[in-house]
Structure 1
Amino acid sequence: MTHYQFLEPLTFKNGLILKNRIVMSPMTTMTSFYNGMVTSDEIHYYQTRAAGPGLVITGVANVSASGKGFEGELSVASDDMIPGLTQLAQAIHQNGTKAILQIFHAGRKTNQQILRGTQPVSASAIAASYPADSETPRALSVEEIQSIIADFAAATQRAITAGFDGVELHGANTYLLQQFFSENSNQRTDAWGGSFEKRLHFPLAVINAVHQAIENATSRPFALGYRISPEEIETPGIRLADSLAFVDQIKTKVDYIHLSMGSYQRTSLNDQTNNQTLLSQFAAHTKGVVPLIGIGAVTTPTDAQAVLADGAELVALGRELLREPQWVQKVTAGDLGAIRTQMSPLDMDELAIPSVMQTYLRTSFYQVMNFTDDSTNQVNYQNTLAPMEGFEKKL
């Protein structure tokens, strides 16, 4: 039987041990209750996929009411959410799998309908360039910024109480952490914006506050991860050099760094002369310092091995774990021929994919899901942003 490096365990510097290096990437289910409480459909969805990967990262949970980005989104904004989140963590903790709660604030990537009449907020009063109907947000006051930082810390404490093994700060896909880092969305002239160093102020403050919350609330190994988008396509906007410099600032402050890309083979979207994969360029900055999660269109064991060979320590599977919840188990058993790389729409109930998520996959993600009834050319997002990276408005 072939020896796969991704089936080997990994130990974080804080002592948290993963049984293997496969990560279930965070995916939007749109299945929570109106107020962000966990539903039984969500529990079943995660339970179906949890036993194989070493680590499961949930879809995003908002840390405050103003941070809700879409309907059906998880919330960790109040203690009322703890019982449901406890059930979710327990559902993931099968066969030694570790559970990470991804937390975020949507910032300007929402609208007044979702926020029940409240204007979205961001670093500056600048609307997103896409989608075309993006609303202009209100610039946050300094007091509100401090309050949201405290919300991230409080959310972390709730994740600890609920039994999760860590939190991941969603600083990618054009959400609030990225909005403060980006010159496109952050044009403040105070201590929270302007220069590169000042645009780092907010994400660094969130990281520090979360660290303090972890230190205060638990003595067990509890991971802090950070997800980052390598580039923006707007001008001005985040370029690869900015993100690499950002990683250099945070790589000793977090337990892992998680890239957000539609393809692990992606090269720069802005610099056509740069032919190196983004993954390898980030790995050059993280190697030996902090584990890097590579991601994007990973379907086969060969893909997963290629991600590790390109410099990552962990491999995230998203769409493939929707199609094949038993991916790790089948690879471990050498039963590669039984792995589904396509998905029939008729199988989605059997695969425990919630009904509202099924609609989402059949619309926004139709061309990347390898549906058996799709005769079009599949898009691999090697040279373009994918919907999951914030390019399209969520339904």
Structure 2
Amino acid sequence: MSQNFLSSYSFSNGLNVKNRVVMPPMTTQSSFHNGMVTSDEIAYYAMRAGGPGMIITGVANVSAGGKGFEGELSVTNDEMIPGLQKLATAIKQDGTKAILQIFHAGRKSTSSILRGAQPVSASALKASYPADSELPRALTHEEILQIIKDFAEATRRAILAGFDGVELHGANTYLLQQFFSENSNQRSDEWGGSLEKRLKFPLLVIDSVNQMVKKHTQNPFVVGYRLSPEEIETPGIRLADSLYLVDQIKNKVDYIHLSIGNYKRTSLNDEATKATLISQFSARTKGFVPLIGIGSVEQPEEAAKVMADGADFVAIGRELIREPKWVQKVASGDIASIRTKVSPLDTEELRIPSVMQDYLKESFNSVMHYTTDTSTAQYYEDTPAPMENFKKL
């Protein structure tokens, strides 16, 4: 079995990564109420540092109105920098690179989370899920420009905090995706209408972030973009739209990161096409920009399959929650000791924050492989929709 996912990689800007394993962004819900980093989060990331080539944090909001859930990281002001420095330092053990994921939740927030303020989006259209989604207010032209600046300022803070890069969260129906999607963006001005106009906001965010990187750092600093290949709503994003998006950004970002539940997944909407999503995207990215493949990877042979399918990196999420030393054990040939199930009695030992423990049991019980779970559900692989239950992890 090839273990090329353990080989090093050098980005075009000079950032060297010791292996191709990525810990993807996963919600901890464990920040303070104002978005500052907690010691629980630092301990959680520190325990998983040192193995993966890169660790990408859970989302950090760039604007006060962009907060999506309680316990979320924030990078809205300079007061957050000292805590983020501690987080970056904890991640960067033994050469692991630290990436801060940044986003704006848009209409995927609530007035309760925003302390009375109405959620905002590209258009005043409710999300189709959950059922109690609130009606957002359409952003004004001036507000859109301010959010673009907010992404740039968040990047500046990430640089000052010592991170090695930022990932723009353009997936899971958050604001960047809301502008790109015809389902959520039905504007008739310069920010909506045609596919090209719906892409204007994401492109300007990327440009503003790249300008900030060029201005504030001489060291290699990567800018990644995460996307969800398709939406199940009509109208909504289809695979052809996302492949178009990739073509427009692949010379503007340092990597592209898919958000899919299983690495074997094919199109949700085009049942006639049997090629995996990873292979279809890698056909567009190969030779231009590295692609991070992802989706229910647990065993080394599965990681190898993701790479063989065309990905340049393989993201391993829930398995790194269960087995923080996955990379080290694979590298040393200690496969037999890899933990693929987890006992609720081990969660403290694994430094999983208390709030995150509850979140995992509530929303991911069937796919966390708890030793106490007697079900045989294979939700991620067998049931591709709806997406709401795993929109954040």
TM-score normalised by the chain length of structure 2: 0.98
Matches of 2:4 and 2:331, distance apart in 1 = 11
Q: Is the aligned partner of 1:62 residue 2:71?
A: no
Matches of 1:156 and 1:362, distance apart in 2 = 33
Secondary structure at 2:152's aligned position in 1?
Answer: helix
How far is the alpha carbon of 1:167 from its aligned partner? 0.2
Matches of 1:393 and 1:224, distance apart in 2 = 22
Aligned structure 1 segments of 4 or more residues deviating by more than 2 angstroms? 382-387, 389-395
Conserved? CA contact 1:131–1:391, under 8 Å = no
Matches of 1:240 and 1:39, distance apart in 2 = 38
Conserved? CA contact 1:157–1:217, under 8 Å = yes
1:142-192 Cα offsets, whole Å, 9 max, x none, are: 000000000000000000000000000000000000000000000000000
Match of 1:339 in 2: 338
Q: Is the aligned partner of 1:12 residue 2:11?
A: yes
Conserved? CA contact 1:32–1:72, under 8 Å = yes
Match of 2:75 in 1: 76
How far is the alpha carbon of 1:250 from its aligned partner? 0.3
Match of 1:377 in 2: 376
How far is the alpha carbon of 1:378 from its aligned partner? 2.9
1:301-350 Cα offsets, whole Å, 9 max, x none, are: 00000000000000000000000000000001100000000011110010
Conserved? CA contact 2:364–2:390, under 8 Å = no
1:186-238 Cα offsets, whole Å, 9 max, x none, are: 00000000000000000000000000000110111000000000000000000
How far is the alpha carbon of 1:385 from its aligned partner? 4.0
Secondary structure at 2:380's aligned position in 1?
Answer: coil
How far is the alpha carbon of 1:382 from its aligned partner? 2.7
1:31-84 Cα offsets, whole Å, 9 max, x none, are: 000000000000000000011000000000000100000000000000010000
Residue 249 to residue 390, structure 1, CA distance change in 2 (3 Å): farther
Matches of 2:216 and 2:36, distance apart in 1 = 23
1:276-299 Cα offsets, whole Å, 9 max, x none, are: 100100000001110000001000
Letter in 2 for 1:33: F
Residue 385 to residue 33, structure 1, CA distance change in 2 (3 Å): farther
How far is the alpha carbon of 1:384 from its aligned partner? 3.9
Matches of 1:297 and 1:247, distance apart in 2 = 23
Conserved? CA contact 1:57–1:100, under 8 Å = yes
Secondary structure at 1:193's aligned position in 2?
Answer: coil
Q: Is the aligned partner of 1:26 residue 2:20?
A: no
Conserved? CA contact 1:261–1:385, under 8 Å = no
Residue 39 to residue 394, structure 1, CA distance change in 2 (3 Å): same
Match of 2:161 in 1: 162
Question: Which ranges in structure 2 are unaligned for 5 or more consecutive residues?
Answer: none
Match of 1:111 in 2: 110
CA RMSD of aligned residues (A): 1.3
How far is the alpha carbon of 1:394 from its aligned partner? 7.0
Match of 1:304 in 2: 303
Letter in 1 for 2:145: Q
How far is the alpha carbon of 1:391 from its aligned partner? 5.0
Matches of 1:252 and 1:368, distance apart in 2 = 36
Conserved? CA contact 2:27–2:392, under 8 Å = no
Conserved? CA contact 1:297–1:380, under 8 Å = no
Matches of 2:388 and 2:176, distance apart in 1 = 13
Matches within 5 A, 1:163-242: 163-242=162-241
Q: Is the aligned partner of 1:139 residue 2:141?
A: no
Matches within 5 A, 1:204-283: 204-283=203-282
Conserved? CA contact 1:50–1:93, under 8 Å = yes
How far is the alpha carbon of 1:379 from its aligned partner? 1.9
1:122-145 Cα offsets, whole Å, 9 max, x none, are: 000000000000000000000000
Secondary structure at 2:324's aligned position in 1?
Answer: coil
Secondary structure at 2:225's aligned position in 1?
Answer: strand
Question: Which ranges in structure 1 are unaligned for 5 or more consecutive residues?
Answer: none
Residue 385 to residue 173, structure 1, CA distance change in 2 (3 Å): farther
Matches of 1:380 and 1:100, distance apart in 2 = 29
Conserved? CA contact 1:131–1:393, under 8 Å = no
Matches of 1:380 and 1:13, distance apart in 2 = 37
Q: Is the aligned partner of 1:150 residue 2:149?
A: yes
1:73-126 Cα offsets, whole Å, 9 max, x none, are: 000000010000000000001000000000000000010000000000000000
Secondary structure at 2:155's aligned position in 1?
Answer: helix
How far is the alpha carbon of 1:3 from its aligned partner? 5.0
Conserved? CA contact 2:60–2:102, under 8 Å = yes
Conserved? CA contact 2:2–2:304, under 8 Å = no
Conserved? CA contact 1:279–1:310, under 8 Å = yes
1:339-382 Cα offsets, whole Å, 9 max, x none, are: 00001111001000000000011110000101111111132423
Letter in 1 for 2:290: P
How far is the alpha carbon of 1:263 from its aligned partner? 0.3
Secondary structure at 2:381's aligned position in 1?
Answer: coil
How far is the alpha carbon of 1:390 from its aligned partner? 4.3
Letter in 2 for 1:332: A
Matches of 1:3 and 1:210, distance apart in 2 = 36
Letter in 2 for 1:167: V
How far is the alpha carbon of 1:383 from its aligned partner? 5.0
Matches within 5 A, 1:81-92: 81-92=80-91
Residue 394 to residue 19, structure 1, CA distance change in 2 (3 Å): closer
Residue 175 to residue 189, structure 1, CA distance change in 2 (3 Å): same
How far is the alpha carbon of 1:386 from its aligned partner? 6.7
